Amino acid sequence: MKRRAAKLTVMLAALALAPALVACGGGGGGSGNAAAAGPSELQKVLNRGTLRVAVLPDFPPSSVKDPSGQIVGFEPDIAKKLADALGVKLQLVPIDGTARLSVMQSGRADVNISAYTATNERAEKVAFTIPYVAHGAGILYRKSNPITGLNDLAGKKVAVARGSTNDTIVTQDFPKATPVRFDNIADALQALKSGKVDAAMEDYTVVHQAVAENPNLAALNAPPIDPAIVSMGVLPGQQIWLNYLNNFIRNLISSGTDNALFEKWFHQPLPSVIGGIG
């Protein structure tokens, strides 16, 4: 693993040096400003020997804390594959949905692999990779307070995780519903169980897993709401790092590893919209 990281470091150093050599004597009359650029985020990860990945700790089966306190799931498995490809150690950084951007801006994480839906609005501040999975929203309710269709959400209190895609969906697509925002997914689901809200909107797989684990809950029988692609997120301007991550995801998909990990945790094939990318 260390040998692989060393080789990658040498290659990146050569690539970084090439523009400077051209500028200094390559017939272009350049000023050599390229040499003043600092190391790329990819180089920083390799130099540090640790990859810091922001993940959600309460979003099963994508990622969740197990009884021992470790974060496990589909996305932590992808993060481990990424660290192995780089030849570095993995450090998972637990966050909530509102901290995805700030955790990178503060230098505490190198990349988000945190069910990050690549919306156009978010892309104004975040550089997204090609997608590695796709999600859609579902509606969860108590059997004692049934919901028979999306129109039933009018006048209802709907729990969502603050700042999530589901928060946006309820606010924009269901204006007659009242979004009730919580700091994390677990609190939103608990509010439904305790009767503080009438329904909860969460990822389709999360909703159906909650039903399997709670006999008093049910899921609205409807296709996923607003299906969307999910990507890794980095800070703008990190083009070398973004290029590497895109290449990693393409290989993850084309090798069948992405599908194998998805089937391991979700017990169904990877959404077809993703399978065609590799």
What residue ranges do the domains of the chain occupy? 1-38, 41-133+228-275, 135-227
Q: What is the pLDDT of residue 106?
A: 97
Per-residue confidence of the chain (278 residues) as pLDDT tens digits?
444 444 444 444 444 443 333 333 333 334 344 334 679 999 999 999 999 999 999 888 999 999 999 999 999 999 999 999 999 999 999 999 899 999 999 999 999 999 999 999 999 999 999 999 998 899 999 999 999 999 999 999 999 999 898 999 999 999 999 999 999 999 999 999 999 999 999 988 889 889 989 999 999 988 889 888 999 999 999 999 999 999 999 999 999 999 999 999 988 888 888 876 65
Domains 41-133+228-275 and 135-227 share a fold: yes
For residue 146 the two structure tokens come to 């049934």
In sequence order, what are the residues at sequence separation of 6 or more whose Cβ sits closer than 8 angstroms to the Cβ of residue 259?
253, 269, 270, 275
Give, in words, the CATH class of 135-227: alpha beta
Q: What is the pLDDT of residue 94?
A: 97
Per the listing, tokens 């990349």 go with: 111
Is 254 strand, coil or helix? helix
Q: What is the pLDDT of residue 204?
A: 87
Q: What is the pLDDT of residue 267?
A: 84
pTM to 2 decimals? 0.73
Work out the end-to-end distance of the chain between its first and last CA atoms, rounded to an integer number of angstroms.
25
CATH architecture under which domain 41-133+228-275 falls: 3-Layer(aba) Sandwich (3.40)
Per the listing, tokens 């990507």 go with: 231
Q: What is the pLDDT of residue 277?
A: 65
Is 132 strand, coil or helix? strand
Q: Where are the alpha helices (DSSP H) in the chain?
A: 2-25, 41-48, 74-86, 100-105, 165-173, 185-193, 204-213, 239-254, 257-266, 272-275
